[in-house]
Chain A
Amino acid sequence: METSLSPRSLGQPGFLSDLRAFGAVLLREWRIFMRYPSWMIALFIWPLIFPMMYILTGRALSGPDGSGLEVFTQVTGATDFIGYIVIGTTVWMWQNIVLWDVGFSLRNEQMRGTLESNWLSPTWRFSYLLGHTGPQIISMLMFIGITALEFGLLFGVKLNGSVWMILLVMLAAIPAIYGLGFAFASLVITVKEANAFVFLIRGLVMIFCGITFPISLLPGWMQSFAMWLPPTYLIHGMRAAAFSNAGVTELLPDLIPLALFGVLWLILGYSAFLLMERRARRTGAIGQY
């Protein structure tokens, strides 16, 4: 008599086990993050020197008698040109860091040679990507907090609005910014070397989203394109919340598109991940680098 035994996995995946796996990835990422304290230097230096180059150029454009600054105030409605530039450049840095950190998270794991073995464990695979996002959001909040502190103390940039409203705009932007990061991470795993894509996306934000100027100065077709980029609304909303004391009602024209883009990018990010996962298993691309 012949008996056949179907192989049984020891893993019993369920919601709780997925949650535990997510927690484990989160903890691992947090440990790696804390093991290399050199990021502390970057955390204090970059928020200051990157906007600085635009601020110093703005200072030169103002002229010794401030005549240029008067024109800038009339055009932008901003009384504090340093704060105006800092918000734009900080949003650009946020998007840039997310692309490098979240976008390359799976790729880095692939380079370390651990992606394939992790992929074999009976866990929810998206948790690998989500786990990277947690410490990233915390470090980004620290980054933005330090930027505000440094420019407040050293350059006297003062908020003329509510911190809660600024946080609300940032919160509304998180799904769109990180959704793009998820989609990007899947693309990176597929094409391997994707530095040029980072340069392209951050370049679009730099040119179209008005990091140092109001987008009304752009030609019509560029303004229409800018409306399709979530950082445009984030920069506009944060400036309004920080310097024009805008409330929820005034911020709705920025909050609604941000929320819609958030939903869109989360769906796109998750779909891209599923597509990549299926393709990678079929072609065996997970272990290749």
Chain B
Amino acid sequence: MQTNSLSQPNIKTQLRALFVIARKDWKVFWRYPLNAVSNILQPIIWITPVYFMGKAFSTNGQAVGFAQYSGTGDYMSFILLGTVLSNFILTVFWGMGYALKEDMDMGVLESNWLTPVSRILILVGRTLASLLTTTITSLIMLVIAGALFGFKPTGNTLAAFLTAIPMLLGLYGFGFAFAAIVLLMREANTLVDVSSFLVQGLSGANFPVKSLPYWLIPISLMLPLTYGFDAVRGFLLNTSTILPLQTEVALLIIFMFVMLWFGAWVFYKVERRVRTLGTLGQH
């Protein structure tokens, strides 16, 4: 006797599943409104010392030293834009791995895995609501921080936005690979905290990478995110860039395709391995 599955997966059902996952995360997020407040205030708290530190390095409100590296003396707009991009990076890059860990701890990962939904899609679904909430909280944060410290975009907003898209899509590839590490290691908090801090630091979230010590610059130039931060700032704040803007955008597009393929490949390899070992339900 042949057994037939009742499920009939097609694009429509997969999209429905994606929507359901996103709606569930959206509901969970707004059940804890303090989280939203924290998401808005935390970045402001972290950059306040930089604002006052910048004053200690400035003459008549102009950070002349900073301008020599970045092409702008407006260090707060530079840092605020880096902070907003970092929020999105955290959501995509680490969000999927964290979501898997959360499902593991709550004991729902194995049952979710049994549904006839593409596993990569489950991961992507976990980022959709966060992307929306990150957009909302980041915009509010930008308005508040702009009023407190000043935010003066002088360039092309549309070009900056379009440049951020291949960067974020490429990060999905990173996210898949990182989710694979979580599946394998099951506990990766220290790894996440330290690497997230280092990757963001070295790719120039808070300062121009040209100012790094000479031995750190090659590492920074190897990170695709460096070109993402640099190009978005180049378009929006008219800062001086490491490479010509067109070259940086081309690099980001290549990086997007390579990372999406590589991340998905790693994820499927590891996922097959944990299914063989039967360790999916362990945490």
- Which A residues contact B (CB, under 8 angstroms)? 38, 41-42, 45, 49-50, 52-54, 56-69, 71-72, 75-76, 85, 88, 196, 199, 203, 206-207, 210-214, 217-218
Q: Is the CB of B53 within 8 A of A56?
A: no
- B41 to chain A: closest CB distance in Å? 7
Does B154 lie at the interface of the complex (its beta carbon under 8 Å from any beta carbon of A)? no
Most buried by B among A38, A56, A207, A218: A56
- Which B residues contact A (CB, under 8 angstroms)? 34, 37-38, 41-42, 45-46, 48-50, 52-59, 63-70, 75, 79, 190, 194, 197-198, 201, 206-208, 211-213
Q: Is the CB of A63 within 8 A of B68?
A: yes
Q: Is the CB of A71 within 8 A of B59?
A: yes
Q: Is the CB of A217 within 8 A of B55?
A: yes
Looking at chain A's contact residues, the main secondary structure is helix
Q: How far is the CA of A213 from the CA of B56 in the complex (A)?
A: 7
- A50, A59, A196, A207: the one within 8 Å of B211 (CB): A59
Contacts of A63 in B (CB 8 A): 64-69
> What are 20 contact pairs spanning A and B, CB under 8 A?
A50-B197, A53-B206, A57-B206, A59-B211, A60-B65, A60-B207, A60-B208, A60-B211, A61-B63, A63-B64, A63-B67, A64-B69, A66-B65, A68-B57, A68-B58, A68-B63, A72-B56, A199-B38, A203-B41, A213-B55
Q: Is the CB of A206 within 8 A of B34?
A: no
Q: How far is the CA of A85 from the CA of B54 in the complex (A)?
A: 13
- B67, B190, B206: the one within 8 Å of A56 (CB): B206
**Apart from the given pairs A63-B69, A207-B48, A210-B52, 11 other A-B contacts in the complex at a CB distance below 8 Å:** A49-B194, A53-B197, A60-B65, A61-B57, A62-B211, A63-B66, A64-B65, A69-B57, A196-B38, A203-B45, A213-B49
Q: How far is the CA of A62 from the CA of B53 in the complex (A)?
A: 11
What 8 pairs between A and B have smallest CB-CB spacing? A63-B65, A68-B65, A60-B207, A60-B211, A61-B57, A68-B57, A203-B45, A213-B52
